[in-house]
């Protein structure tokens, strides 16, 4: 039985370790949820430096976020902490080694193998 303020252990690859139930969905008078019911949760504990989800990448200097932290024993200074957040892989382009500019990628058959080729320069990508 799950109700508001219940703390739950997480068993997926999202990076969250412990969550707390905020709301049981399914009507304004509904108080309890069971296995398979939909609830709204808040992450209370997460794995530090968790890897981004599938389909996301972290690019240095891009999509910077600022987190305002209160001074604590672990971090006595507190303040504004800046870090990179993951972005979707479709928003990232491959840099052409010849020109240094972003390039589109296409596929060609060379020597009987399907290879990835940069559209602008025609150079074959490794992989």
- Residuewise pLDDT in 10s, the chain (127 residues): 888 889 998 888 777 888 889 999 988 889 899 888 899 998 888 776 666 677 888 888 888 999 999 999 998 999 999 988 889 888 888 888 888 888 888 999 988 999 999 888 888 887 5
pTM (two decimals): 0.44
- pLDDT value at position 80? 95
Helix, strand, coil share (%) of the chain residues, nearest 5: 0, 45, 55
- Residue 79, strand partner residues: 69
Q: How far apart are CA 38 and CA 52, in angstroms?
A: 24
Domain boundaries, the chain: 1-48, 51-90, 93-118
The fourth-level CATH superfamily of domain 1-48 is Ribosomal protein L14/L23 (2.40.150.20)
CB 26 within 8 A of CB 37: yes
CB 18 within 8 A of CB 11: no
What six digits make up the tokens of 27?
């009507």
- pLDDT value at position 125? 83
What is the CB neighbour count within 10 angstroms for residue 6? 16
What six digits make up the tokens of 123?
């150079």
């Amino acid at each position: 039985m799950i109700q508001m303020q219940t703390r739950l252990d997480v068993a997926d690859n999202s990076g969250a370790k412990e969550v707390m139930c905020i709301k049981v969905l399914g009507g304004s008078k509904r108080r309890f949820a069971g296995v398979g019911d939909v609830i709204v949760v808040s992450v209370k504990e997460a794995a530090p430096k968790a890897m981004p989800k599938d389909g996301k990448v972290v690019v240095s200097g891009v999509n910077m976020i600022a987190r305002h932290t209160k001074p604590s024993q672990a971090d006595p200074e507190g303040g504004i902490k800046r870090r990179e957040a993951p972005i979707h892989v479709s928003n990232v382009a491959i840099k052409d080694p010849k020109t240094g500019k972003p390039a589109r990628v296409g596929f060609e058959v060379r020597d009987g193998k399907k290879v990835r080729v940069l559209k602008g320069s025609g150079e074959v990508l490794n992989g």
